[in-house]
Structure 1
């Protein structure tokens, strides 16, 4: 019984244990299930939150990047290209210009050629003998400009909306595509202007699915991520054409995931703002295609011209494939430097086109077998105004150095250069250098040259040439070559003298002299060529004839320190106060000298050179807006008297050769001869400096009139013909100037009996009030034995001095008068101040 009870109890206990165990296990399973459900719910919630966050982030990013794209499209960021621009060109009736020349100007200014039925702003239509221009919408008062041409390639019709125009100013031409590139120009193309062969070549190698995707090729992005996972620096990626466009125009060159994301968002947004065709055309206009000569090549149109010497529509299949292949690595596949690599890359593109079915096997084989032929590098390989562009970049970098926008992309720099004048300047120097090359053909080095032209009222640089060839050497001799200017410096000596009260008609001895300075140091200058007239000459004559000894004498009497101070005020390096400074021994650049001469053409006010009209960001906001920087250095009357003297340099002095070529225009200037040849001259509205010399500072052996003046004359003649407003029949005459007839032998008022006279501009304070004593019947020619001259009047019967001769030392006595009637040529007498006077009685008797 007990055993049965025990068995029953054991069974119940076992059952209870099993039941408890089952309950525990059921509870554990329930708890695990609840936990799994909690985790699942948490995971789902996290995914929802994450997804929502991503979607929110993407929406926010899309909105943010949309604002960027919209703002930049509205500001013309893509159509108003970054880079450096020339001053606007002006069309005038009667101007020499071909139809094709105008078309080229319009292309470089960013206009697009369209059909006659199109009405796009910023476009043009070219017919056989006329061009119609549709200005850009920004502020255009005229909607259609008609330019007609005659058979002599001159503009014979210029109308705006049917109304005759005197002139029409085009938008500025681009000098460079990118300020940082320094050189290279491109054209703006529409999609329809791009040959389909080139379109297919680019698509086959850069973005096969371009017309299918919406800006992002997800497969390509995935491949790029796998290639670069774990590396914050991206080596390469599967960017679409749209991504490449925004990368080149919107973003900095850093290669990070952050920039890659921005690139993708911008591309996605841009695809919803522009058509595929517009995006592709912009890409073809913007893409960088290497460097040739001094030109950074941007855009397929410029590449066709630079590498093959062809218009884009003339490219062969092989040439189109080559350009498409260069996009990946322009310098590596440059056909002029790496022929084998370029050929292999071209053939790879041709194979890709065959794979995509856009060409057949026969076309592919023929294109692959085509010999690579690159056009020779000639003048087209030289950028427009490369020396000027370098200088502009230097100036802009200095002005924006402290700005947080210094490296902002899309910066547009509008400059002062006139491309027509620039071409004239380059041609004038080239012509003169060709002449000189014949003379120096036996020398190892060839002479170099520089020219700079300024507007004396604004300081705007109108033209600048820094050497005979930028490809040969990038040294800008116009801005950086310090050389002794020689006699070009002399006008500053005479300006200081006039400001100090020395008269331009005061007399100086043109004879060997020795000057003492620093108490005991001696300086003995000589005239160029060693010749002397051994006569007294007027101070102004010494400048006209470039007499060295008299110039030093004038500087000594003015004060060497004062002359040095005035030179510094004119913007030149301050010379050391030694007598030789008067002869231009302190080095200066052509640009500095041109700026200094603006004071003579601008009423005594020097204007600093200026190359920048304005600098704007991508949205058109001004970063730099230049105003002329000026300084008054001399009185307007002083500037005019110097101009009057320098005009005589042209008419009667060392630069007489210029007058025969430049007619009906007031010109003034000064030659300079050191180891180099100089000429700096000006019209009422333009200052031009020309330098010719050797880079190694060897003696040129030519005068400024022989070396520099011909180029100056050639340029100025063409400039005033092209732009008459740069000339002028006379210089502006300030108040306080009178014109008098002076006898150059005495510096006194010319009498009717004087054999020669000069019309001289003076202030009343400098104008003599005594008639010439040398040729007047009422005077005897006399000279003090100390070397100075003085008039002595022969009195009338009353023996009283003439009232208009207050400088008369005294009247002659009866005894002296009787001596003059004796048969002797000269007589020494003593004046009332005890000075010995030599009287020439024969001249008196002859004139009686």
Structure 2
């Protein structure tokens, strides 16, 4: 009997031990959850500090720009009509039957009508103006302001860019403000890359699920679910590695970016940061530089077809490189245009006109090669005597020289 009781007591203790085990583990759950929560909060705080420090500090290292002399036009100066046309050609002005847009000109006999570009000179901002120049044999006879029909004593054309001094990472960009960007570019970009940009808070779960479903059905990646904010975070803060951890960081940082900054500020940063091509060792970043690199003109002067091509390149700058793969670039551009028409953002006439145009890409030039190497060597020597290397390579300095590009040609 005693033996049976002992066995029974032993069985009861084993059962009690089993019953107490879950309770013993439960008392550890709360501290573990609390610890993990505190770790998550600390990590989000760490990401938040990084997001704000980089976004509010010096965002980009902008190379110094070296310019030739600006051409100053005044009545009586020795200048032939052909010399002026050569200067306008080197500056990328477009000749046509009328001179209506900035950077355009027309020729009628001894008269040249042109619309100058605005430019920030060393002594202040020079506004765009529409003028007519009259030539007499080998000299400039007179300058007339067309809207006011008044004679002008002096007009300056913007100088030709002859070289740049790049930062160590070889990134190049021309910074643009949001109010300088054509509305057609913003419309095309949002319609193509992020239709709900002004509605979401940095991450669009429905877009991610829709893209995942489309990609699953196609058995390959045909659609992305990242918002513009996520794309900015990836390019500005993170690397291109394809890992789940990077995607988690990207989503958290996108939410933080949207929490601290308004949509327009984020969009402006995206327009200046996005990678749009490679020129040898030089990386082409931002739509401002891409306009110059592919079309030889400022962003504000591009046509709808050209803007659509740049927007189409966001998906793959190398794959849709218009110089190496013009057929792909054209097809992608036309897809962007059709998307705009489908969303009723452009009409049928605009669609047909823009789709029928050629790409209009200017020939590429060797990366980092200046047409004036001997002159630039003298300029560099003088600059490095007076300035720090970091200032020349990252502060976006404007350096004006006395070089006469027409005489050197």
Please give the range of the TM-score, normalised by the shorter of the 2 chains: 0.5 to 0.7
Q: 1:224-235, aligned counterparts within 5 Å?
A: none
Partner deviation per Cα, 1:490-538 (whole Å, 9 max, x = no partner): xxxxxxxxxxxxxxxxxxxxxxxxxxxxxxxxxxxxxxxxxxxxxxxxx
Partner deviation per Cα, 1:561-584 (whole Å, 9 max, x = no partner): xxxxxxxxxxxxxxxxxxxxxxxx
1:291: Cα distance to partner?
5.0
State the alpha-carbon separation in 2 of the partners of residues 344 and 153 from structure 1. 46
Look up the SS of the partner of 2:374 in the other structure: strand
Look up the SS of the partner of 1:328 in the other structure: coil
- 2:264 maps to 277
- Point out the structure with max Rg over C-alpha: 1
Q: 1:619-630, aligned counterparts within 5 Å?
A: none
State the alpha-carbon separation in 2 of the partners of residues 220 and 319 from structure 1. 28
Structure 1 position 39 matched with structure 2 position 25: yes
Higher helix share: 2
State the alpha-carbon separation in 1 of the partners of residues 308 and 202 from structure 2. 24
Structure 1 position 106 matched with structure 2 position 93: no
1:36: Cα distance to partner?
1.3
Q: Is the 8 A contact 2:173 2:285 kept in 1?
A: yes
1:375: Cα distance to partner?
1.8
1:363: Cα distance to partner?
3.8
Partner deviation per Cα, 1:116-175 (whole Å, 9 max, x = no partner): xxxxxxx95836489xxxxxxxxxxxxxxxxxx9625436xxxxxxxxxxxxxx9x9895
Q: Is the 8 A contact 2:178 2:264 kept in 1?
A: yes
Structure 1 position 52 matched with structure 2 position 38: yes
Q: Is the 8 A contact 1:175 1:183 kept in 2?
A: no
- 1:342 maps to 329
- 2:369 maps to 387
Q: Is the 8 A contact 2:275 2:286 kept in 1?
A: yes
Q: Is the 8 A contact 1:190 1:278 kept in 2?
A: no
State the alpha-carbon separation in 2 of the partners of residues 314 and 238 from structure 1. 32
Structure 1 position 373 matched with structure 2 position 358: yes
1:49: Cα distance to partner?
1.8
1:39: Cα distance to partner?
1.9
State the alpha-carbon separation in 1 of the partners of residues 73 and 296 from structure 2. 32
1:289: Cα distance to partner?
2.4
Q: 1:286-685, aligned counterparts within 5 Å?
A: 286-291=273-278, 297-304=284-291, 306-307=293-294, 312=299, 315=302, 317-350=304-337, 352-353=339-340, 357=343, 359=345, 363=348, 366-367=351-352, 370-375=355-360, 377=362, 381-382=364-365, 386-388=368-370, 452-453=374-375, 461-462=378-379, 609=381, 612=384, 613-616=387-390
1:92: Cα distance to partner?
9.4
Q: Is the 8 A contact 2:197 2:227 kept in 1?
A: yes
**Which of these residues, 83, 95, 110, is aligned with residue 63 of structure 2?**
83
Look up the SS of the partner of 2:199 in the other structure: coil
Q: Is the 8 A contact 2:204 2:226 kept in 1?
A: yes
**Which of these residues, 193, 198, 202, is aligned with residue 215 of structure 1?**
202
State the alpha-carbon separation in 1 of the partners of residues 64 and 240 from structure 2. 20
State the alpha-carbon separation in 1 of the partners of residues 392 and 28 from structure 2. 48
1:277: Cα distance to partner?
1.2
Partner deviation per Cα, 1:238-280 (whole Å, 9 max, x = no partner): 5432343344445566666666666555544443443211221
Q: Is the 8 A contact 2:176 2:272 kept in 1?
A: yes
- 1:203 maps to 190
Look up the SS of the partner of 1:387 in the other structure: coil
- 1:537 maps to none
1:64: Cα distance to partner?
4.5
State the alpha-carbon separation in 2 of the partners of residues 297 and 64 from structure 1. 25
Answer 1 or 2: higher relative contact order, Cα 8 Å, separation at least 6. Answer: 2
TM-score by length of 2: 0.58
Is the deviation greater in 242-251 or in 85-94?
Answer: 85-94
- 1:151 maps to 152
State the alpha-carbon separation in 2 of the partners of residues 264 and 154 from structure 1. 51
Look up the SS of the partner of 1:452 in the other structure: helix
1:326: Cα distance to partner?
0.6
Q: Is the 8 A contact 1:205 1:352 kept in 2?
A: yes
1:90: Cα distance to partner?
9.0
Q: Is the 8 A contact 2:118 2:126 kept in 1?
A: no
State the alpha-carbon separation in 1 of the partners of residues 254 and 341 from structure 2. 29
1:34: Cα distance to partner?
1.9
Partner deviation per Cα, 1:23-76 (whole Å, 9 max, x = no partner): 777655543332112223323332222122212222233234433444x2xxx4
State the alpha-carbon separation in 2 of the partners of residues 352 and 201 from structure 1. 9
State the alpha-carbon separation in 1 of the partners of residues 230 and 192 from structure 2. 15
Look up the SS of the partner of 1:377 in the other structure: coil
Cα distance change of structure 1 residues 713 and 56 upon mapping to structure 2, 3 Å threshold: closer
Look up the SS of the partner of 1:331 in the other structure: coil
| Structure 1 runs not aligned, ≥5 long | 1-12, 110-122, 131-148, 156-169, 227-235, 389-425, 427-449, 455-459, 464-608, 622-685, 689-710, 719-848
TM-score by length of 1: 0.32
1:373: Cα distance to partner?
0.5
| Structure 2 runs not aligned, ≥5 long | 78-86, 89-101, 104-114, 132-149, 214-222, 396-400
1:366: Cα distance to partner?
3.6
Cα distance change of structure 1 residues 175 and 225 upon mapping to structure 2, 3 Å threshold: farther
- 1:468 maps to none
Count of residues in Structure 1 that have an aligned counterpart in Structure 2? 337
Look up the SS of the partner of 2:316 in the other structure: coil
Look up the SS of the partner of 2:362 in the other structure: coil
Q: Is the 8 A contact 1:177 1:185 kept in 2?
A: no
Cα distance change of structure 1 residues 251 and 36 upon mapping to structure 2, 3 Å threshold: closer
